[in-house]
Structure 1
Amino acid sequence: MTTLLTSARPKTGADRGIYTYIAVFSAVLYMVLLIAPVIAGKLAAQFDLAPTELGMLFSLELGAFSLATVPAYLWLNRTNLRTVTYVCTAVVIAGNIVSGFLDSFALLVLARVVTSLAAGSITVIILTLSGKTANPSRAFGVFVVFQLLMGAIILFGFPLLYADSTVAAIYWTMAALALCCLPVVRMIDGEVLRRPGDDDAAALRSARVDRPAPKARFAVGLAAVLLFYVSLSGVWSFMAQLSGAAGIDLPTSSLILAIATLPGIAAPLIATFLGDSPKRRWFLLAGYAGLGTGVALLFGAPGVIRFAMAAMIFKFAWTFILPYLLSSLTDIGGRHVMNSTNLMIGSGFAVGPMASGMLIESSGGGFGAMLAFSAAGVLLSLACAMAIQRPVRR
């Protein structure tokens, strides 16, 4: 069995190339998600946008990032991954350059949607290659860490660097950074998904005849990811409102949420160091326990200290769970498992804040129903995550 399972993974040299590809592209491409708060004010001022128009722009841009999953079902296993990456990166570069010159809001929306579709397509490749490494948990840890590191740089650097600039300067910076990604494309094997015998699902099914039906595990695994993102995005989107309702002033809550990025970065670093392990089930249990604790601490109008504890525990648990949850999906096998996972991530980000907002409004501005909904989602996600764990064999 050991030989069979090992043959389905690239060798160490190939893994290093994949890790580099993941680190560079995830840091740059996820800027489309991370800079939204930074450029919102500049876009509103430059194009005289109402809040609904600004929200529509970001919704379409982030939605396109996720919907890139759908066409990927057709091309992912039929094309050379290097070629697709070069083409999509070129589209990202061109889209960001063009966005900086546009003075029509309608054309800007079109440019951002096309750019995000290209960026989302590369993300599909990132997630799929992560599952191909010998240590998926480490690969997904790299994926999360470098996003968060770029997020920290943006949080502290962008407002200072671009305080007196137009939004065009930010878009052109994104184009320049995407250009810097091109040299690492050659570090991946473009034919890895088209080569016969690389289907992990077939290898795992033949090796583990006593495992549950793959389709059932596939559905349960996707449910774990969807519920995870619905729960965390629903809470995290309203953290500022939660602190305000508890009487915490905005500067203090902003400082607490900024400090919470530190444990958020530390958690995937720990996961990256630990890598995949027979103890993954216990790592997930510990992470979900932390996530549930973070939600529980937010009940009942928490004071400053309890709110700070909740924010830091919540962010640490969130980013610690993610690499192990994603690596659990790769065990299910199948060429499109990570492609489908990307769709669940985008769907969770879309559903979570919307559902939480509706619950807050329906309860007259209270947060109890929303927090209870998120806590239930955490428990259900935990149950699904445990159900898809591989059996530990001695």
Structure 2
Amino acid sequence: MNLPVNPKNLFIFILAASIASTIGGLPFNSLPVMLGSLADSFSLSSESVGLLGSICFAGYLLGTLGAPFWINRLNWRTLTVASTIGTATAFAVSSQLKSIEALYLVWAFIGFFASTMTCLGMRILTDLPDKVRAFGTRQGIELSVTAAVLFALPPLIIAQWQYPGAALALAVVVGVLGLSAFWVPQGPLLAIAEENQAITNHSRIPLPRSSWVCMGIFFVFLVGNIALWAFLERIGADLKLAGAEIGIVFAVLKLLGGVAAFFVAWIGDRAGVRWPYWIVLLGVLAGLLFLLGAGSFLPFALGAWIWEFAFTCGCVFQVAAIARSDASGRAVVLVPAVFALSSMVGPGLAGQLAAGGSFNGVLLLAAVCSVLPALVYSFWQPAKS
């Protein structure tokens, strides 16, 4: 059933979609902390840690690849309930496992169920006007909730109960967030007449070539930065930071990510389509330089915070570019698949680069991959379909 979008329900739809998407983002947003606790609980090597992250997002990729085929056919409230139960159950089961092989399997299920929530949240927002503002608000809410979770996990949960406690805590968080099912629309929305007419006209033709180019650029950007994200906690652990310090770093980091997303949402389309990518690149490089020279808490924290702010801005701008490249809304539903594919490649690649005990290769990879969007979008822009 198509539902109209008006000022009264616009905020409710954005909020519900953002909370649903937060469930999908939890495995990624908590990835370094969870992988770090797994590494300590099971004495895992860097290669094994990277493999676990990659397997999780293999399941995530499987879920997202099917999203364009079922996203408009299923009842969205029913989907929210089912995915919430699946994600929470998988986290709870993983807390009781002792075998790393079994954990690999369960984390694949975590990725699969979480992906459905990410796809759903993004699909709802695709129907709304001002894509930059809608996706910026979604990411801001997602990261704000995650900040609270990450503030509590290392010092309060992981310090006492290690990975089993953290997994159970995330299961509870997912269950609470799943209450958003009461406010999620049951089916596609009607935003504005012109946009929906474009959807009708474009729904049966292939995705524009420019959409694939935008997704390819986003993939490269994500590979390098997700590689760093997966091992950011390990970099802090290598500096012998205390659990409370790690918790502060990641909580503030995600709060800054939320601030960045809300900042981009406030700017909206006024930011233009070229300069934002260069500003993002400068921010990423500044953060990486701090991390490269970090020998204590403060430079590590500053580097992580600056990097996260810039990385989040870059994600919002690029998702908005993908959304603008395809009026049918199908391309943006594939964004989680791009995210999943890059998350499969990034952690595994980072594990290989960090196998010798140095994280400099991971930092270099993030820097190189961050250059591409600024270069490409300076000379090319996707045609509006």
Task: Specify the TM-score bucket, using the shorter chain as the normaliser.
Answer: 0.7 to 0.9
For residue 269 of structure 1, what is the aligned residue in structure 2? 262
C-alpha separation in 2, matches of 1:42 and 1:311: 19
C-alpha separation in 2, matches of 1:289 and 1:167: 35
Change in CA separation of 1:189 and 1:238 when aligned onto 2, cut-off 3 Å: closer
C-alpha displacement of 1:278: 3.9
C-alpha displacement of 1:90: 2.2
For residue 83 of structure 1, what is the aligned residue in structure 2? 78
For residue 148 of structure 1, what is the aligned residue in structure 2? 143
Matched, 1:133 2:128: yes
Change in CA separation of 1:256 and 1:175 when aligned onto 2, cut-off 3 Å: closer
C-alpha separation in 1, matches of 2:349 and 2:176: 39
Match of 1:112 among 79, 84, 107: 107
Match of 1:73 among 65, 68, 92: 68
Match of 2:317 among 311, 324, 338: 324
Matched, 1:191 2:187: yes
Matched, 1:290 2:285: no
Q: Give yes or no for contact 2:136–2:261 (8 Å, CA) kept in 1.
A: yes
Change in CA separation of 1:314 and 1:99 when aligned onto 2, cut-off 3 Å: closer
For residue 15 of structure 2, what is the aligned residue in structure 1? 20
C-alpha displacement of 1:337: 0.9
Matched, 1:180 2:176: yes
Give the count of matched residue pairs: 371
For residue 334 of structure 2, what is the aligned residue in structure 1? 340
Counterpart of 1:191, as a letter, is G
Q: Secondary structure at the residue paired with 2:20?
A: helix
Change in CA separation of 1:75 and 1:352 when aligned onto 2, cut-off 3 Å: same
Q: Give yes or no for contact 1:227–1:348 (8 Å, CA) kept in 2.
A: yes
Q: Secondary structure at the residue paired with 2:257?
A: helix
Counterpart of 1:138, as a letter, is R
Match of 1:99 among 94, 97, 122: 94
Matched, 1:280 2:272: yes
Unaligned stretches of 5+ in structure 1?
1-6, 208-212
C-alpha separation in 1, matches of 2:291 and 2:31: 28
C-alpha separation in 2, matches of 1:153 and 1:82: 26
Correspondence list, 1:22-61, <5 A: 22-40=17-35, 43=38, 48=42, 50-51=44-45, 53-61=48-56
Change in CA separation of 1:23 and 1:74 when aligned onto 2, cut-off 3 Å: closer
1:67-106 per-position Cα deviation (integer Å, ceiling 9, x unaligned): 3112223212222222222222222233334334445554
Change in CA separation of 1:371 and 1:186 when aligned onto 2, cut-off 3 Å: closer
Match of 2:161 among 158, 165, 172: 165
Change in CA separation of 1:102 and 1:150 when aligned onto 2, cut-off 3 Å: same
For residue 381 of structure 1, what is the aligned residue in structure 2? 373
Q: Secondary structure at the residue paired with 1:165?
A: helix
Q: Secondary structure at the residue paired with 2:8?
A: helix
Q: Give yes or no for contact 1:99–1:171 (8 Å, CA) kept in 2.
A: yes
Pairwise CA RMSD of aligned residues? 4.2
Higher mean C-alpha displacement, 55-64 vs 35-44: 35-44
C-alpha displacement of 1:267: 1.4
Change in CA separation of 1:96 and 1:358 when aligned onto 2, cut-off 3 Å: closer
For residue 349 of structure 1, what is the aligned residue in structure 2? 343
Q: Secondary structure at the residue paired with 1:277?
A: helix
For residue 4 of structure 1, what is the aligned residue in structure 2? none
C-alpha displacement of 1:227: 2.0
C-alpha displacement of 1:222: 0.5
C-alpha separation in 2, matches of 1:388 and 1:9: 31
C-alpha displacement of 1:319: 1.4
1:349-391 per-position Cα deviation (integer Å, ceiling 9, x unaligned): 33345556666889x9694x76665444333222444533568
C-alpha separation in 1, matches of 2:305 and 2:351: 23
C-alpha separation in 1, matches of 2:147 and 2:50: 23
C-alpha separation in 1, matches of 2:3 and 2:53: 39
C-alpha separation in 2, matches of 1:385 and 1:155: 34
C-alpha displacement of 1:237: 5.2
What TM-score do you get using the length of structure 2 for normalisation? 0.76
Counterpart of 2:179, as a letter, is P
Change in CA separation of 1:158 and 1:385 when aligned onto 2, cut-off 3 Å: same
Q: Give yes or no for contact 1:27–1:150 (8 Å, CA) kept in 2.
A: yes
C-alpha separation in 2, matches of 1:199 and 1:191: 19
For residue 210 of structure 1, what is the aligned residue in structure 2? none
Counterpart of 1:114, as a letter, is F
C-alpha displacement of 1:303: 8.3
1:153-196 per-position Cα deviation (integer Å, ceiling 9, x unaligned): 23331233223336444333333333323432232322217x8x
Matched, 1:227 2:227: no
Counterpart of 1:119, as a letter, is A
C-alpha separation in 2, matches of 1:239 and 1:170: 18
C-alpha displacement of 1:218: 1.0
Change in CA separation of 1:292 and 1:161 when aligned onto 2, cut-off 3 Å: closer
Report the structure number with the largest CA radius of gyration. Answer: 1
Unaligned stretches of 5+ in structure 2?
none
Change in CA separation of 1:284 and 1:58 when aligned onto 2, cut-off 3 Å: same
